[in-house]
């Protein structure tokens, strides 16, 4: 997995070359991946370090796997109201909204089902159908109520993994903007957020990994502050009896989604939207993806089909390799 992440970072990140400006860089391990902050205009080294600290602080609130986090408290609340940080409430409310807009293709209540697959262990396994059925009893976004900074979650188990990287990137980017940084790139393990225009006036260019193997299927180019997120079956998976099982579950079945899409990349104004929609498009498939993107005129997508062909949705400057 780490080898794949390293390869993905090398593909995705095309640095700001030829800018003639001093680059400030800071890196750390967070969100179960390598995180890198690059400042190209404005800001100091402390600002980059503070952005990393912001990411860690947000993760402590939002991780379903960290003791003492807001999400852990909700999952252990037995349906009682829980006061949470304003960021947690805001993120959860937005994720629930997008879940409704995608008719459940994005679902942040799949923790019980995803834990059955045990992807992060050395011994993942295919769960029995009876186990999946039991786990899906703990699914249901309609059982979550957000009222201000108080959340009530009844008989559900929440995991914000489908939106957290992008949303946390939004917080770090906002911090840098407040510090006077005018040009920056944030790489959260392949989730890319940009801030401002590159000093040399050229476009940001992000490569899209080929989910079938080495290299990339093409690049997207854009200007200004944007976010790019990719959901792919190649990012985390295991094989059993000749069948590959990736980690992106279909909320309806509790099994890995089989929509005909091998990867979905979304370009959006903010990280949470890019992250959430990339997962939803991967789950729902090409036809429904086209209909959904019409509701998000500021977003665009690049879909790689299982046969390796590519389709773009919305206004996106995509160059096929």
Tell me the pLDDT tens digit for each residue of 114-173.
999 987 777 788 999 999 999 999 999 999 999 999 999 999 999 999 999 999 999 999
Measured distance CA(264)–CA(282) in Å, rounded: 5
- Mean confidence (pLDDT) of the chain: 91
50 is a domain residue = yes
Give the helix ranges, DSSP H, for 245-294: 271-284, 286-293
Q: For residue 21, what pLDDT band results from cuts at 50, 70 and 90?
A: low
Q: Are residues 195 and 270 in the same domain?
A: yes
The predicted structure's pLDDT at residue 6: 37
* CB contact set of 90 (below 8 Å; sequence gap of 6+): none
Is 128 within 8 Å of 117 (Cβ atoms)?
Answer: no
Question: Sign of torsion, CA 165 171 175 181?
Answer: positive
pLDDT beyond 70 at 105: yes
- Half-sphere exposure (Cβ direction) of 36: Cα atoms closer than 13 Å: 19
pLDDT beyond 50 at 12: no
Measured distance CA(267)–CA(271) in Å, rounded: 9
Tens of pLDDT, residues 237-267? 888 888 888 999 999 999 999 999 999 999 9
Tens of pLDDT, residues 195-230? 999 989 999 999 999 998 878 999 999 999 999 999
Q: Are residues 140 and 168 in the same domain?
A: no
Closest by CA to 57, choosing from 31, 37, 93, is 31
Count the domains in the chain: 2
Q: For residue 15, what pLDDT band results from cuts at 50, 70 and 90?
A: very low
Question: Sign of torsion, CA 187 56 237 272?
Answer: negative
Measured distance CA(35)–CA(53) in Å, rounded: 11
Q: Are residues 130 and 268 in the same domain?
A: no
Measured distance CA(252)–CA(210) in Å, rounded: 27
Q: What is the mean pLDDT of residues 255-282?
A: 97
Q: Are residues 52 and 70 in the same domain?
A: no
Question: What torsion, rounded to 10 degrees, do the Cα atoms 74, 173, 320, 243 define?
Answer: -20
Q: Are residues 180 and 91 in the same domain?
A: no
The helix, strand and coil proportions of the chain, stated in percent and rounded to the nearest 5, come to: 35, 30, 40
Is 217 within 8 Å of 205 (Cβ atoms)?
Answer: no
Q: What is the mean pLDDT of residues 5-20?
A: 43
Q: What are the tokens at 237?
A: 């998976």
* CB contact set of 10 (below 8 Å; sequence gap of 6+): none
From residue 153, alpha-carbon distances to 102, 150, 183, 285, 301 in Å are: 21, 10, 40, 29, 32
Q: Are residues 188 and 300 in the same domain?
A: yes
Give the helix ranges, DSSP H, for the chain: 2-12, 45-62, 70-75, 86-101, 111-117, 129-135, 164-178, 271-284, 286-293
Neighbours of 221 (CB within 10 A): 14
Residue 87: give its domain's CATH number: 1.10.3980.10
Measured distance CA(158)–CA(88) in Å, rounded: 12
Note the pTM of the prediction, 2 decimals: 0.92
Domain extent, residue 201, equals 2-57+164-320
Q: What are the tokens at 308?
A: 């390796």
Give the helix ranges, DSSP H, for 111-255: 111-117, 129-135, 164-178
Q: Are residues 203 and 278 in the same domain?
A: yes
The predicted structure's pLDDT at residue 241: 82
Q: Are residues 26 and 107 in the same domain?
A: no
Q: Are residues 146 and 168 in the same domain?
A: no
């Amino acid at each position: 997995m780490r080898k794949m992440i390293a390869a993905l970072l090398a593909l995705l990140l095309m640095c700001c070359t030829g800018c003639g400006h001093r680059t400030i860089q800071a890196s750390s391990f967070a969100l179960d991946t390598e995180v890198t902050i690059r400042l190209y205009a404005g800001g100091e080294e402390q600002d980059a370090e503070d952005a990393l600290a912001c990411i860690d602080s947000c993760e402590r609130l939002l991780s379903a796997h960290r003791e003492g986090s807001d999400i852990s408290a909700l999952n252990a609340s037995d349906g009682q109201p829980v006061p949470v940080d304003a960021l947690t409430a805001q993120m959860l409310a937005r994720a629930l909204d997008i879940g409704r807009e995608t008719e459940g293709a994005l679902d942040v209540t799949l923790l019980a089902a995803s834990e059955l697959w045990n992807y992060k262990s050395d011994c993942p396994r295919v769960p029995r159908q009876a186990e999946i059925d039991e786990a899906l009893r703990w699914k249901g976004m309609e059982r979550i109520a957000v009222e201000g900074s108080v959340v009530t979650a009844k008989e559900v188990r929440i995991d914000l993994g489908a939106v957290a990287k992008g949303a946390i990137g939004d917080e770090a980017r906002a911090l840098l903007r407040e510090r006077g940084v005018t040009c920056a790139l944030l790489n959260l393990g392949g989730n890319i957020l940009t801030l401002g225009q590159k000093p040399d006036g050229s476009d940001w260019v992000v490569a899209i990994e080929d989910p079938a193997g080495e290299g990339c299927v093409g690049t997207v180019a854009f200007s200004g502050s944007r976010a790019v997120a990719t959901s792919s079956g190649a990012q985390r998976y295991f094989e059993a009896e000749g069948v590959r099982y990736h980690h992106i579950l279909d909320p309806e079945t509790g099994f890995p989604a089989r929509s005909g899409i091998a990867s979905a990349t979304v370009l959006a104004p903010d990280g949470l939207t890019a992250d959430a929609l990339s997962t939803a498009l991967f789950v729902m498939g090409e036809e429904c993806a086209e209909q959904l993107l019409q509701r998000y005129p500021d977003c665009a997508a690049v879909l790689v089909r299982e046969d390796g062909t590519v389709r773009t949705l919305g206004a996106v400057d995509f160059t096929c390799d």
